[in-house]
Structure 1
Amino acid sequence: MRNWRAKTAALAAVSALALSACGSDSDSNGDGNGGNGGSGDAAASEGSGLSGTVTGAGASFPDPLFQEWIAEYTQQVEPDVTINYQSVGSGAGVEQFIGQSVAFGSSEEYLDDEALEEAAGARDCSAVQFPVVFGAVVIAFNDEALDGLVLDAETIAKIYDREITNYNDPAIAGLNPDMDLPDQEILPVHRSDSSGTTFVFSNYLDKEVPAWSDTYGASKELEWADGTLGGDGNQGVAQGISQNPGALGYVNQSFALEAGLSVAHVVNADGEAVAPTLEATSAASEEAEVPENFQFTIDGIGGEGYPIAGTNWIFTYTCGYDEATTDILKGFWTWALESERADELANELGYAPLGDELTERVLAEVEKTNSEA
């Protein structure tokens, strides 16, 4: 791991521009192109690299990193490949993946057994899902005087339930005895779309605050309290925070950095107020127990770990891709998991790569893509 950098040069989405696919005409029977979001032809000669185009869609949570990975891979590793990733939110990404309009999907909530069954029925073969990166969901503000404000799960839950409506509330003051808190109304900002980031945030509160569990639970979509503000995507929430006095919201860490937002220190299971650093995210990810089916959440984080941490999953199928699309999917995600450069880019943006043991397990899962063809 490289040391965390407080800022990055740019997080704007980088277009995955590459040379056009070359070679023979695309598959005309629909097995390779129609409905799976991928098209392309095998390399013309040994050593010429991959060639073709694939499209994926889903979570905005990893979008800054995915765009950097895609740019690096298509410009430096496989220049005859184009990869288009559409940051449409986890819910829409899952829908498009099951609807087979894209080659791969992405979400911060894994596909449960019901979703896997639906995906298998849509394609007549099994879906594959594997984690690729960990990241922190931060509580962000547009007031630099609030940087480092300490919050715990119960206080965050009450803010979003509109029980706590001012920054100088006694509950917040009790957690921040040395901070001069403003007499300022809090405007909670949340995701208005179906969101994996919302799942990570609400799953944390669901596990830590019984009242939240009873009223809201854990989901990609919630019925929010009156007096809150919705934003589309992590970008929309970051914008809502930036543009409204007193705003507070939950976003992936890289979006808070890009927008220059202040962030809270959140009390973890051991009572430690932890800043959302790369090291703290890595510490949280190392506590995750990952079963064979990769269906897991990161809960009850203590020690030096930041407690609101999530995982991004990628979804592919075990059948239905043409050869070039299969090679691109497997080649790109293998590079993203194995490459030192991919890890460097993740670290620069505040994401924690998988550990070595988990990476080996995930690489074996990646190989299942189109394995039933």
Structure 2
Amino acid sequence: MTNLLHAMLGKGLGGLEQVFLDYQPILEAWAAKRGGRCVGVVRNGGKVAAAQAGRTPPLIPMPAFTDWDPITLGAARAVVRANRPAIILSHGQRPARVFAKAAPAGVIQAVCVHKPSFDVTPGTHYLCVGQHLANLALERGAAADHVHVVQNAVRPPPVQAQPFAREDGPVKIVAAGRLHAKKGFDVLIRAVGKLRAWDVDVTCEIAGEGAERADLEALIKTLDLDPCVKLVGWTDDIAGFLATGDLFAFPSHQEGFPLTLLEAMAVGLPVVATEIDGPVEILDEGVTGRLVPDDDPDRLAEALGELISDRDTAQRLGAAARELVLTEYGPDELARRLEAALDGMLVNSKA
């Protein structure tokens, strides 16, 4: 019998939380095949706990204050005692530190790494969502047989984009993500301004919320882009929103293995992304999308403008991007990679 504890203590409902939710049914099936069960643990009062309140089997909510908080540690120890896991898989550093303190010796500890800021602890396994993160784990001292690459995945969308299907009217650029400085939406807004200055008829809609909203609204006003650039807030139908566009822009400065980029590719949008870790593992320049230098509104505007002027190429890139995601980054491939990593942990623990 192999029981598994799957922990995520984030407050929100962003990319990390979505990966946790994508993993949970796969882990439940994997544990069941071994006569055990997988228990999902989430933050009490967090958005995942609220959104999944009616789930079967239920997720276990627990307090999540600090790594050393006695209430948090007590709750973690109680969860471990009740479920006797052979493996504890945590998303992010906080649950990893909490459950490392709560678990007895012999329990396999694993951390899903979503971004470059993480510590390496001897004996811990690292499930990295991108190869560049796996390389960092190795550079920081993780054993090679404790580092596993499990790229993120998305479900096939219920809709498909029809880029440039309209014969008249402006070209619509779409983007989505948390309104945070690292997402680079100010670079996109400046790029749209340059396209407009070049008499390219475009509009842009950015879906998302966050602390940068006021600054981005001010930039839109300063550049006199109010008529054509809109911050439309977040949406529960991200595929439906993306499918309304002709092009997708991804100007981020730092990423792990971005779900939003995969989602845009899955609906068949031609994409232009920053040439940084994460996107460069997904996109093949000129084959499945375009890559441009980081923090460069001129090159972003030029790449978008080139696709607008060569729509046959843009549509070809969008179709190739969709095929890539549906083939390589769907739920079945995620399950295969994740199960292989878990099987490897068990074999390693018996060696």
Higher relative contact order (CA 8 A, sep 6+): 1
Per the TM superposition, whether the score is higher than 0.5 is no
> Normalised by the shorter chain, which TM-score bucket?
0.3 to 0.5
From the two aligned structures, give the one with the greater helix fraction.
2
What TM-score, normalized to structure 2?
A: 0.36
What TM-score, normalized to structure 1?
A: 0.34
